[in-house]
Amino acid sequence: MNWLRRKNKRESIYSLEQQRAEKLAKMGAQLSSSRQEKGLSLEEVVLLTRIPRRLLQAIEEGNLIELPEPVYIQALIRQFADALGLNGAEFASSFPVGNNRVILKSGWKRIPFGELRPIHLYLLYVFIILCSVGGLSQFLNASALQSANNNQSQPKLSEKTIIQSQKFQLLSNTDDSSTKSGQQVQISLTLTEKSWIQVVVDGKVEHEGELPRGTHRIWKAQEQLTVRTDNAGGVLVSVNQEKAKQMGEPGKQKEVTIAANTGL
């Protein structure tokens, strides 16, 4: 009878591991598809979640070997899904963690350590793991933040475009008589998506950092205004109160310079 119980236990463990592998493969494919639909790279998701790239890639590929304990995997999946605009808690809840849940009751009977049974040790182990999820999350966040600060203090703008006011492609039907040479230039930005923005006014950096969706800001310059972003499709630009236009394509880096002394 003992060998039969051991056999059933091994089959149960194998079945649970197989369920985790199959479920992770399915969930990873869904997260990968959602990320690509939103035009996000893994590096951008790292900045949003502070989770190392290798773990995000392992989740998308369904690679259990590269991932930590199941409870940690569930927490990582939740953060990943939240960053993509999904209901992370609901999405991650379907990932199998274990067969037992820890239920703490006030006034539970204390059992001497020497008399603890295997089931008690297992419950204690699960409880310790659950309490450690928060610590692991903080550690991963700190590690990713340090890496992001070292490697991405400022996005590299590969599609640098310096456009004089009279050739500024975001504007149409501009009246040349509406401005004069030497007149100050005004630019207003409206964010339809969260984006990194840098604004340089007459050679001085007036703003640098992420702005949330819905932000509306106005800057004025006597000579020249330069705007840089890492998500041109999420930024609407209006020069001198003209009709706002998209700065560029979604997820693309862009730099635009408007010189006041050339006129529109």
**Conformation bin of residue 234: beta by default, left when phi > 0, alpha when psi is -120 to 50:** alpha
pLDDT digits (tens, 9 = 90+) for 65-90: 999 999 999 999 999 999 999 999 99
In 3D, which of 78, 30, 38, 56 has the Cα closest to residue 194? 38
| Cα–Cα distance measured from residue 166 to residue 19, given in angstroms and rounded to the nearest whole number | 62
Give the mean pLDDT of 15-34. 94
Give the three-class secondary structure for 226.
Answer: strand
Per-residue pLDDT at 9 exceeds 60: no
Task: Identify the band that residue 16 occupies on the pLDDT scale cut at 50, 70 and 90.
Answer: confident
Query: Greater confidence, 37 or 147?
Result: 37
pLDDT digits (tens, 9 = 90+) for 196-240: 999 999 999 999 999 999 999 998 998 887 999 999 999 998 998
Out of 47-51, 96-100, 166-170, 179-183, least confident range: 166-170
pLDDT reported for residue 181: 43
pLDDT reported for residue 67: 95
Q: In whole numbers, what is the pLDDT of the chain averaged over residues?
A: 77
In 3D, which of 62, 70, 65, 79 has the Cα closest to residue 144? 79
Query: Greater confidence, 51 or 260?
Result: 51
- The domain spans of the chain are 2-151, 165-262
pLDDT reported for residue 44: 96
pLDDT digits (tens, 9 = 90+) for 160-170: 444 444 444 44
pLDDT digits (tens, 9 = 90+) for 92-148: 999 998 754 433 333 344 444 444 455 656 677 677 887 676 667 667 767 666 766
In 3D, which of 205, 167, 165 has the Cα closest to residue 187? 165
Nearest 5 degrees, angle CA 49-CA 55-CA 60?
95
Other CB atoms within a 10 A radius of the CB of residue 138 amount to 11
pLDDT reported for residue 171: 42
pLDDT reported for residue 13: 55
Please spell the DSSP secondary structure of 142-191, one letter per residue. HHHHHHHHHH-SS---TTB----GGG-TT--S--GGGS-TT--EEEEEEE
| Cα–Cα distance measured from residue 44 to residue 213, given in angstroms and rounded to the nearest whole number | 16
What is the value of pTM for the model shown?
A: 0.36
Per-residue pLDDT at 31 exceeds 60: yes
| Cα–Cα distance measured from residue 16 to residue 76, given in angstroms and rounded to the nearest whole number | 19
Sorted by sequence, the CB contacts under 8 Å of residue 214 that are 6+ apart come out as 191
pLDDT reported for residue 180: 41
User: Tell me, which fold does domain 2-151 have in CATH?
Assistant: 434 Repressor (Amino-terminal Domain) (1.10.260)
